[in-house]
Amino acid sequence: MTEEQLQIRDLARDFAEGELRPHAEEWDREAHFPREIIQKLGELGFLGMLLPEEYDGLGLDTSTYLMALEEIARGDASVAVAMSVHNSLPTQMILAHGSEEQKERWLKPMARGEMLGGFALSEADAGSDAAALAAQARKVDGGWILNGTKAWITNGGFGDVMVCMCRTDTPENRRGAKGIGAFIVPTNTEGYVVGKKEDKMGQRASETVGIAFQEMFVPDAQLLGDPSMGFIYALQGLDGGRLGIAALATGIAQSALEHSLRYADERRQFGTAIREFQGMQFKLADMATRIEAGRSLVQRAAQAKDAGEKVSRLSSMAKLFASEGAMYVTTQAVQVFGGYGYVKEYPVERLFRDAKVTEIYEGASEIQRTVIARELYR
């Protein structure tokens, strides 16, 4: 790592240790973290890491961003997923496909943490088959009228601006994936309705809601790029988004390993620390090895992305391996703690719950395996 990367990693680590980890249990219990955390992330530059300096970002490479994201996830995965979605999807989609006016209007406040971004693609009947979405955009003078619903939206009510995918084709002339547009929608837009906040198993402090568009007018100036290419833009964004989730999962797993190492050194049975038993040593060794392998795969994919290579296969591999690795590591961490691992007084119970969703959101493990296999044949 360069000196700059080390400084950024240490800054993220200090923030996670001082501002996140001490409160993670409370935020999990209350299913909420304070908005001030987003403001602090913005002040430190963590919400504009991949944006050029001309838009008030830091202009950093993907590897450095993912290093910082892993450290934030070590402190609290709920804060990390808000940071990941913001950095990987709405900001990058606007940067890649927005007009200069759109970049000036939206990216600068997003980089500074004045606006938190989100991404609305999934629907109740269009999860893994996201191209089957039904939310409809109807062209009118000066803009579009949006109607429909979205499900499982991170930052959907807590955030300030969403990039939303809706059909721009007509019911009489459906064009599949080529009939979907992407729209930049402030969450205070009339007709933007926040639905039920989901009561989740893990990452509880991260807000996940359903949203509805009810005759919501969006001006032409907030259409992102080509009105028929929104789904393609979303897929391109998800390549980066999956790397974010892979780094987040690695951070969860790293935290679980650190707690396990300390506990195995302190806990004594049969007159000795349990870390002296071969069965425990094998368990800890396997946990550490999976984390290191996942981290290396994340960095391999990040380097390919920064080099301009197509990264669908590598990002899916990283997301698949790191998320399943996090589930393995946190399961073993609960086992290391024994009965204590099963109670909320100890942190590995929360980390176990936080890890599970990394195998599901931004493309379930089954979808990642499908993407990888298709890319192998290409």
Residues recognised as catalytic? 362
Give φ, ψ of 51 to 5 degrees: -90, 145
Q: What share of the chain is helix, strand, coil (3-state, %, to 5)?
A: 60, 15, 25
Do 256 and 351 form a contact (C-beta atoms < 8 A)?
yes
What is the Cα 89 distance to its own chain's centre? 9
DSSP 206: S
CA distance 306 to 213: 36
CA distance 163 to 85: 11
For residues 200, 330, 44 and 295, what is the CA-based torsion angle, rounded to 10 degrees?
Answer: -130
Do 55 and 48 form a contact (C-beta atoms < 8 A)?
yes
CA distance 320 to 340: 29
Per-position DSSP letters for 229-284, written without gaps between them = BHHHHHHHHHHHHHHHHHHHHHHHHHHHHHHHHHHHHH-EETTEEGGGSHHHHHHH
Do 175 and 227 form a contact (C-beta atoms < 8 A)?
no
**What residues pair up with 143 in beta bridges, in sequence order?**
140, 219
Question: Shortest CA distance to 164 belongs to which of 113, 262, 145, 12?
Answer: 145
Task: Find all residues with CB under 8 Å of 19, minimum gap 6, and list them.
Answer: 37, 40, 75
Question: Shortest CA distance to 350 belongs to which of 140, 164, 206?
Answer: 206
